[in-house]
Structure 1
């Protein structure tokens, strides 16, 4: 039942003096108590809306006897005009002045003195005066072992039948176990007049959780939207997650707004996993998102329906894979705080990606004025495109500038040449930025007069990569490039150094590059040699200890080499055969000294 429907039932319940028992059940943290207290407090000033004049809220957390319940009712009873206010000595004094004075006040003075017998006798005597009032019991599932659910429901029946009270019970009935659960189920229909299941939507829970919480509205909107997307309906969990987001937000002020948005996306997910592990995917499952496995590995795995559901959930949520920054955020969620230096170490990279995304969006918006409007003039459209391109030129590729050059030339605007030269200057040292193969693949042509210029730039843009850069760029450029050829000549000890130096997202990229051709039927010479040397390096690393041996075999390169030796994998084509033979020979030569 939604928040509004439950609120309507509460209003109907309070509108009469008729003795009744209302039960509001719901999962932990969904806002049952908040919803009840907000509703009754909003109605307390209207005598027609709240008929009875006295009210007590009693938490059963840790309570072990009915006499303790009676004492709690006495100590927490206030007049209708103070419903929802903090209980203080002054409020109790005010209640006594307005209610029974002499006898009740005198007996209450005896509560703190005397032994257990006197206490019980006084409480029993005073409880006779608790009549015709509203009493709310909360946390039945958290009572002490000495008090049974049957005792509580029996006392509620007494309050209704003998003391003419209106009684409300708030609880998470699913948390009741064993005999308490059996008693609750048995007594429920006999004692309770109105039985409600409180199950607010994720939207309602987010609203309850974030209303009145200190913090920026934009931040609340971000957290609320992400919590709703995951279907989080626990008010307390959402508040805990918001606290974490509020902690990290000041640490991200120096970065693009998109960085904060990306961080919130991760923290809401990690917070859900941390605070509600019984409902969310395991944090280890999320941590491993993006871990490497070949297509063959994936096909060999037995289908896991639960994990398949979580994969879809994460995909729909917009969570792709876990990178190094995510690991820092996971740790921050577990610790309850974040360190500026840890955030800065990773946020800069995300900031750069956000800058590139923002540049693409700006250019798309400028193009929209050309494609989807008849209002803007030619000068206005071209000025917008030119301004956007020149401001963000470092984020655009060759296809982008050629498309703009074509348009500006066709319309007789000489700024086309200025744009191309600016692009050439900014990107002159970036590898493969002038590689035209991707443009041709998508059917885009280069003007004839620029083909020679682009070819010259492409030739001059090949950088002198360091060994580390070769490994880091392999995934993006592939084996069929100069990078693959050069890596095939790098000594095995350098492979070992690189593989043991890098970790996290960078090692992920290196692994993807080295294993990219594992399932290729006819890998080229460079590919075979690189995988052979990587396998030898992994073998060396694996000899350090059994744990590393287990880790290295997960890459599948060592097994791939073994299958080549046994002939289980055949390398087609003369070039491939020669490459395999050469690789095996080098393998033998390199293994000998390192095994000594």
Structure 2
């Protein structure tokens, strides 16, 4: 039944004053109690309740009709005080109402709060005061083991027929034990005037939770609907974590609050809805770009997850999602780490603002079955080249693969060359991708990265070469050119930045070159520049003069470098 129709039926029930029983069935978490409270509050706010007294009772843990009766008596309050809830004043009022049925406890009013042990056998007499009122009996399936469904339904019948009450029963029928389920289904038709199945859609649930749809509520309404979340307990957790994260980042990064709400919803969906949702382990390896291209071969379950993730516009897991996931799991956010991750995410989004043309090309790929491959190739290539410094490696991998599939091998090769040359984050992203998510799909892009990685590993700093001289007692030939191209200024800065054992080892390396001189022209130039750098340091002050000459002999006839 659509929620709009159900709401009208419940409002009709609440506005009437004739004895009646309704039953509302639904799974845990779909919002039966939440919606009931919303509906009755709305009607009470208009002063339109048909009966002027109301009691809400959860049967959770109650083990006897005696306990249920007293719980109804204790919870009863005037409809006008619905927003306040039961309190000492409402309990005093209930005892005053009961005095005509139980004169002997009139003196008990001065002894509140009243404990159960004091009442003893008077409890049943107190229940005489329960009449002509509205009652909600919730959690029928959670009643204690000694309280049977048949007993509760018998009490409900009595309240309607003998006490002129209106009673609403809320339960999750699926959680009743076998005997109680049989009894419930056999008796329900006799007891309830009407029974409703409460099974809202994600849209309806979001409407209930976020009726105003303003600010971040508008974002959460969309997010929860997109992921088809119908469990209100989960939605309330999403709202809590979003509000908490907003408190941390809104002042410095107000534009990131909707982004945070989007991420929080996804992480809560994953953590708190493990049966239906994609687990965190899958989110960490999900590749939105590969899914767009269709080069994954998912299982049936993964296909379902992919549908949600693609529709939700989730691209890839990163440090921002990692921090939010951690916060959702432990119940709080690390303020320093989440702020740092937010700053990184904000910078990434800002850098990708120029990717609009590139994204439009991908939208063209998805939006129709038109034969537009030539236009698509042109847009993809131009868009990728324009955004070459900001495109993530995952998206570049998919773009290169698609261009090749469309026969644009030349454009694909040019993209690979420019990407490795002009994208400063390319190598770092590749290392992260291969470490956590597996290698790239395109073999040429993968080969180019492996070559670049190999070259990078073979690169060695000036400092490393000098330290190697201390051990080898000579300059390794393949590094001679590197030292030869190094200026006196660079050597000077190297020595000045060295500390501790590193400083001593660098001086020992120079000492080795003095003790074991080479006749080669490049070696002589290298040694001369090293000594000139140290001479410059020694000339700065008497202290540095002593420090240098403790290890190094600076010739008086040292030639200035040309």
Asked whether the two chains share a fold, i.e. TM above 0.5, the reply is yes
Name which of 232, 235, 239 aligns with 2:232.
235
Shift of 1:359: 4.5
8 Å contact kept, 2:77–2:85: no
Would the alpha carbon gap of residues 265 and 506 (structure 1) be closer, same or farther in structure 2, given more than 3 Å must change? farther
Q: Which of the residues 435, 439, 442 maps onto 1:507?
A: 435
* Structure 2 residues not aligned, in runs of 5+: 361-382, 390-402, 412-416, 459-562
Matches within 5 A, 1:228-307: 228-253=225-250, 259-290=256-287, 304-307=299-302
Change beyond 3 A, Cα 1:323–1:162 = same
Q: Is the 8 A contact 1:291 1:508 kept in 2?
A: no
> Deviations along 1:446-503, whole A, 9 cap, x unmatched?
xxxxxxxxxxxx99x969x9xxx89537x5xxxxxxxxxxxxxxxxxxxxxxxxxx7x
> For residues 283 and 64 of structure 1, do their structure 2 counterparts lie closer, same or farther at Cα, with a shift above 3 Å needed?
farther
| Total equivalences in the alignment | 407
Aligned residue for 1:200, secondary structure, equals coil
Report the CA distance between 1:133 and its aligned residue: 1.9
Counterpart residue number, 1:28: 28
Between the aligned partners of 1:334 and 1:253, the Cα distance in structure 2 is 22
Give the structure 2 partner of residue 417 of structure 1. Answer: none
Q: Is the 8 A contact 1:132 1:165 kept in 2?
A: yes
Contact in 2 for aligned 1:54/1:78 (Cα 8 Å): yes
Q: Which structure 2 residues correspond to residues 142-161 of structure 1 after superposition, within 5 A?
A: 142-161=142-161
Stretches of structure 1 that go unaligned for 5 or more consecutive residues are 366-395, 402-422, 424-437, 445-457, 476-501, 535-596
Secondary structure at 1:62's aligned position in 2?
Answer: coil
Q: Is the alpha carbon distance of 1:84 and 1:31 closer, same or farther for their aligned partners in structure 2, counting shifts above 3 Å?
A: farther
Task: Work out whether residues 156 and 167 of structure 1, in 8 Å CA contact, stay in contact via their aligned partners in 2.
Answer: yes
Say whether residues 1:312 and 2:307 are aligned partners.
Answer: yes
3-state SS of 1:221 partner: helix
> What aligned pairs does 1:108-127 form with structure 2 within 5 A after superposition?
109=108, 119=119, 121-127=121-127
Deviation at 1:95, TM superposition (A): 4.4
Q: CA RMSD in A?
A: 4.6
CA distance change for structure 1 residues 180 and 529 in 2, over 3 Å: closer, same or farther? Answer: same
Go from structure 1 to structure 2 and tell me whether the alpha carbon gap of 1:518 and 1:506 turns closer, same or farther (over 3 Å shift): closer
TM-score w.r.t. structure 2 length? 0.61
Pick closer, same or farther for the CA change 1:329–1:51 going to 2, 3 Å.
closer
Partner in structure 2 of residue 56 of structure 1: 55
The one of 193, 198, 219 equivalent to 1:222 is 219
Deviation at 1:63, TM superposition (A): 0.8
In structure 1, how many angstroms separate the alpha carbons of the residues matched to 2:150 and 2:355?
66
Sort the Cα spacing of 1:152 and 1:518 in 2 relative to 1 into closer, same or farther, 3 A.
Answer: farther
2:443 to 511, 514, 517: 517
Which aligned pairs between 1:113-512 and structure 2 lie closer than 5 A?
Answer: 119=119, 121-210=121-210, 217-253=214-250, 259-290=256-287, 304-359=299-354, 471-472=427-428, 475=430, 507-508=435-436, 512=439
The verdict on how the C-alpha distance between 1:161 and 1:397 changes in structure 2, with shifts beyond 3 A counting, is closer
Distance apart, 1:21 and its partner CA:
1.1
Native 8 Å contact 2:216 2:257 kept in 1:
no
My pick for the range that moved more, 261-270 or 79-88, is 79-88
Moved over 6 A (4+): 110-116, 291-294, 362-365, 441-444, 523-531
1:102 Cα offset (Å)? 4.6
How far the C-alpha of 1:271 sits from its partner, in A, is: 0.4
Q: Which residue of 2 aligns with 1:415?
A: none
Partner SS, residue 325 of structure 1: helix
Deviations 1:54-74 (A, max 9, x none): 221111121111100000111
User: Structure 1 length normalisation: TM-score?
Assistant: 0.58
Per the TM alignment, residue 258 of structure 1 is displaced from its structure 2 partner at its CA by: 5.3
User: 1:333, CA displacement in angstroms?
Assistant: 0.8
Over 3 Å counting, the alpha-carbon distance change for 1:160 and 1:305 in structure 2 is same
Match of 1:107 in 2: 105
Contact 1:517 1:527 in 2 (8 A): no
Instruction: Check the 8 A contact 1:24/1:169 in 2, yes or no.
Output: yes
Shift in alpha-carbon separation, 1:260–1:12, aligned structure 2, 3 A: closer
Q: Secondary structure at the match of 2:56?
A: strand
- String of CA shifts for 1:63-110, please: whole Å, max 9, x gaps: 11110000011111223333343211112323455x344544643739
Q: Distance in 2 between matches of 1:135 and 1:526?
A: 72
